[in-house]
Amino acid sequence: MEELNSKMSEMNVSKKPSKKIKIKRKINLICSICKKSITNKLCFCDKLEYYNEKIESIIKIQKWFKKIYYISDLSLFILLNNKQKLKTKKNKIEYLLNEFGTKEPCNRFDVGNCIEYILRELLNDCGLEVQSLPNAKRIDINIIRYGCLSIKYSSVGDITLHNSNSCINKDVSFTDTLLMTCDKIYLVTDKSLLKNNIDINEYLKNTGDSLKLKRSILTKLEKNNYPYIIDFKLNINKNTCKNRLTSKLFYEKMSEEYSKVKT
């Protein structure tokens, strides 16, 4: 009897089929502008408007975070001071300045932007993740885990930090800057200036419609053995510069592109 009951119970018990576990995979969306992952929250292109409006607050927050876990000025400088990578970008900048130069006023903005692009390429090549901020006020790039920097090129005279577009300038604060001259690259930050007993306010000059940095700051940096200076002697000659117009080159390239679209 017991044997019969056991057989009947075995017949009544049905084995439940094992459930297949479905793994949901997220589609990795890539931004068409910066080519970074939107899904992994590496793209900030949709937040550029926020950057423009809140840039002062962002800089303050980033300076606070730098003290905790951000890349230091020293770490950034060590990565940047790569002789092989510097030489490659130096050749590119020399070609730019010998072909186009800044003698023609209409060239200055475009040449300045090109130098900004080249230095941003250099930072990327050195292993840093750099976000471009072309329309932000006072800054040009954001280095992930470091912070925001302004990029400036100056060959002679006082260094223009920003223009106020024909309005009265009320902004007299200094922004951390990567400054390139004809023979040096300087990483100039508030924190490092204070450590080297340099008061940046002594070298700022409000001209009414712009804020300038007196060129004597460069002598002061050398005198105080400021640690974040890279030798970057450019082989350029303003007298033999071709002074080609950047606008003409842009027009030619635009026309080529247009002809391809047209056909």
Q: Is the dihedral of CA 206, 208, 209, 215 positive or negative?
A: negative
pLDDT per residue over 11-24, tens digit each?
554 455 555 555 55
Averaged over 55-72, what is the pLDDT?
68
Both tokens of residue 53? Answer: 């409006």
For every residue of the chain, DSSP letters joined together read -HHHHHHHHHHH--PPPPPPPPPP-----B-TTT--BTTTT---GGGHHHHHHHHHHHHHHHHHHHTTTSPPHHHHHHHH--HHHHHHHHHHHHHHHHHT-SSSHHHHHHHHHHHHHHHHHHHHHTT--EEE-TTSSS--EEETTTEEEEEEE-SSSSEEEEE-TTSPP-------EEEE-SSEEEEE-HHHHHHTT--GGGGEEE-SSEEEE-THHHHHHHHTT-S-EEE------TTT-----HHHHHHHHHHHHHHHHH-
Between CA 237 and CA 243 the distance in angstroms is 11
Contacts of 233 (CB under 8 A, 6+ apart): 182, 183
Q: Which residue has the higher pLDDT, 238 or 20?
A: 238
Length of the chain counted residue by residue: 263
pLDDT per residue over 78-131, tens digit each?
999 999 999 999 999 999 999 999 999 899 989 999 999 999 999 999 999 999
> Per-residue pLDDT for 259 more than 80?
yes
> Per-residue pLDDT for 5 more than 60?
no
Q: Which residue has the higher pLDDT, 178 or 172?
A: 178
The per-residue pLDDT for 28 is: 73
The per-residue pLDDT for 83 is: 92
Of the listed ranges 10-14, 48-52, 174-178, the least confidently predicted one is 10-14
pLDDT per residue over 202-234, tens digit each?
999 888 878 899 999 999 999 999 999 999 999
> Per-residue pLDDT for 69 more than 70?
no
Q: Which residue has the higher pLDDT, 229 or 28?
A: 229
| Residue recorded with tokens 């950057």 | 51
The per-residue pLDDT for 246 is: 94
For every residue of 130-163, DSSP letters joined together read EEE-TTSSS--EEETTTEEEEEEE-SSSSEEEEE
Bridge partners of residue 178, in order along the sequence: 151, 187
Report the predicted TM-score, pTM, of the whole model to 2 decimal places: 0.71
